[in-house]
Amino acid sequence: MDCQIYVCAIGMRYGSIDEQTQKSYTQLEYEKAESLGIPILAFLIDESKTRFSIDEIDLGDSAVKLAAFKNKIKSSKTVTCDFFESGPDLKGKVYRAIINEIERQKAREEDKKGTLDAYIEGAKLFKKFVKRPAQYRNQEAILRVRFDGKYGGWRLKEQLFYAFGFRPGYALYLNDLYTLGTSPDVSESIWSVDCFADGKAADWLDDNDVNQGTIIEGRFKLAYELVRDIKEGNQLLRSNHANDIYMACLVLLEGLHVISRDVPINPTQSNE
């Protein structure tokens, strides 16, 4: 189907039937547009305000199919549906609906361009951050990233969480996020960094089933902190390193979009 907007007007007849599917050609066109994600503008005759002669109304099986088709349209959350009483009424409503849909499409394209510009600029900032993390720490950026690793579990050392201001057992820890949008000019081991997510950001990852091979877009903080042994009361927490070290990572502040899933990951990552 080669169109940008699908418009259908439905009265009291179901229409010609396709022998193979036993559906009307109008319904088949509608379902094709729906499957392709084409905006649908549907106009149904207002049965409460229009009078019909008997030869203008389908009866029997066709009437049942027509009613089910209309209910499908009216219950859809993605279809723009309106009612008409006459030919002139339909003409005016179709014209206004098409103009409104064109304006919505323009707005969506502008939003996409704004998002594209934002994540490209974010990738440029990340490129500076991985080379000079202390210079760019705590800045925020819109990033598009690929999850190449896996989630860290409760066995992670506590000081990793405490150093970045999180409580063990509450925040998610993602291994190996690969930032998209610009070419790396450092080694792959530096370009792929780990990430924390807490609260609503962690809920967003869980709710959207973000796993290995998923590309997401989000608002991140560029973090760079000293990871060291931490004393809590009289208990000395376990050390993950022989010496204290500085560590750069990302903090997901807000998940924005899931871009794609099951994307081939970087084969150089250990994914542990």
DSSP the chain: ---S-EEEEE-S---PBPTTT-SBHHHHHHHHHHHHT--EEEEEE-TTT----GGGS--HHHHHHHHHHHHHHHH-SSSEEEEESSHHHHHHHHHHHHHHHHHHHHHHHHHHHHHHHHHHHHHHHHHHHTTSHHHHTT-EEEEEEEE-S-EE-TTS-HHHHHHTT--TTTSEEEEEEEEESS---S-HHHHSEEEEE-HHHHHHHHHTT--TT-EEEEEEEEEEEEE---EETTEEPPPSSSS-EEEEEEEEEEEEEEEESSPPPPTT----
Predicted confidence band of residue 112 (pLDDT cuts 50, 70, 90): low
113-260 — its CATH code? 2.40.50.140
Q: In the structure, what pLDDT confidence band is assigned to residue 271 with cuts at 50, 70 and 90? A: very low
Domain ranges of the chain: 6-85, 113-260
Residues 6+ apart with CB under 8 A from 262: 213, 214
Q: Which tens digits make up the pLDDT trace of 155-169?
A: 777 888 988 999 888
CA distance 185 to 194: 18
User: Among candidates 150, 151, 173, which has minimal Cα distance to 161?
Assistant: 173
User: Is the model more confident about 155 or about 72?
Assistant: 72
Residue 272, pLDDT > 70, answer no
Of 38-42, 108-112, 142-146, 247-251, least confident by mean pLDDT is 108-112
pLDDT in tens, 233-252: 444 444 444 567 889 999 99
At 189, the pLDDT band (50, 70, 90 cuts) reads confident
For 211-238, what is the mean pLDDT?
76
Least confident range from 51-60, 178-187, 201-210: namely: 51-60
So what's the pLDDT on residue 111? 62
Q: Is the pLDDT of residue 64 over 50?
A: yes
Percent of all residues in the chain with a pLDDT value above 70, rounded to a whole number: 89
pLDDT confidence bin for 52, thresholds 50/70/90: confident
Given a cut of 60, whether residue 40 has pLDDT beyond it is: yes
Q: What is the pLDDT of residue 229?
A: 63
Task: Give me the pLDDT at residue 145, please.
Answer: 94
Amino acid identity at 163: A
